[in-house]
Amino acid sequence: MIFDMDGVLVDSEPLHERAKREAFRKTGIVLPEERFATLIGRGDEAMLKDLVSEFSLSAEQSAEILRQKNAFYESSESTLRPIPGALDFVHWSHRHFRLALATSASPRYRHFLMKKFDIESLFEVVVDAALVKAPKPSPEVFEITLKKLSLEPTTCLIIEDSINGLVAAKQAGCFAVGITTSFSSQILRSTGADLVVQNFAQLKSHLAEA
């Protein structure tokens, strides 16, 4: 079983969005509201690459956006809480499945949250932005995770909250579960989720029955 982190284990997507909005505001970038949804599940480097092309940003402007975003985020990251039911589900899953974490987050941020929630020892494999060249919706993060697990895609279930993450999961050839922490059931199903759940209690019930 492969978990995404932001929006799946930790309720961090709202803070990510606020940090991006603050960074854009301070650097004079105005994005249409609908664009923010497309940024969910993509790492900061991928976001900046898109913006550099779209707004013809200089290297200095790009670096300043990232600095502002990180400063705002890190000032509030200690307030982050797990998604309701996520930690109990991870502990339950650890007794029944092999677990891995595949995230677009930086190593520093990933380690901070796993230590904060005391779950790092429950994951056999952890893959973060340090090991990935192509961000979601590229399936690379999941392909690397599968290789480290020495498992075939058809034997793995991936839990994702974002459109980019679900596209990556399906391209990797895995069974994709969408959890409705960031997008509606309808959007997750239309993106290709094999199963959509409202919460981890529902997912546990599905898995227990299977």
Domain tally, the chain: 2
- Which tens digit of pLDDT belongs to each residue from 169-182? 999 999 999 999 99
- Which tens digit of pLDDT belongs to each residue from 61-70? 888 998 999 9
Residue 144, phi-psi category: left (phi > 0), alpha (psi -120 to 50), beta (remainder): alpha
Per-residue model confidence (pLDDT) at position 75? 93
Q: Are residues 42 and 90 located together in one domain of the fold?
A: no
Q: Are residues 103 and 161 located together in one domain of the fold?
A: yes
Per-residue model confidence (pLDDT) at position 196? 98
CATH number for the domain spanning 152: value is: 3.40.50.1000
Q: Are residues 32 and 91 located together in one domain of the fold?
A: no
In whole angstroms, give the CA distance from residue 194 to residue 186: 12
In terms of pLDDT, which residue wins out, 189 or 51? 189
Where is the domain boundary, 62, 78, 94?
A: 78
Largest separation between any pair of C-alpha atoms in the chain:
54
Strands (E), the chain: 2-3, 100-102, 125-127, 157-160, 175-179, 195-197
Centroid of chain to Cα 114: 14
Rounded-to-5 percentages of helix, strand, coil across the chain: 55, 10, 30
- Which tens digit of pLDDT belongs to each residue from 110-165? 999 999 999 999 999 999 999 999 989 999 999 999 999 999 999 999 999 999 99
- Please give the span between the terminal C-alpha atoms of the chain, in angstroms, as a whole number: 14
pLDDT band at 41 (very low <50, low <70, confident <90, very high): confident
CB 156 within 8 A of CB 173: no
The tokens describing 77, both together, are 């990251």
CB 197 within 8 A of CB 178: yes
In whole angstroms, give the CA distance from residue 200 to residue 90: 9
Per-residue model confidence (pLDDT) at position 3? 98
- Give every CB contact of residue 37 below 8 A, 6+ residues apart in sequence: 163, 183
User: Which residue type sits at 72?
Assistant: F
Q: Are residues 49 and 99 located together in one domain of the fold?
A: no
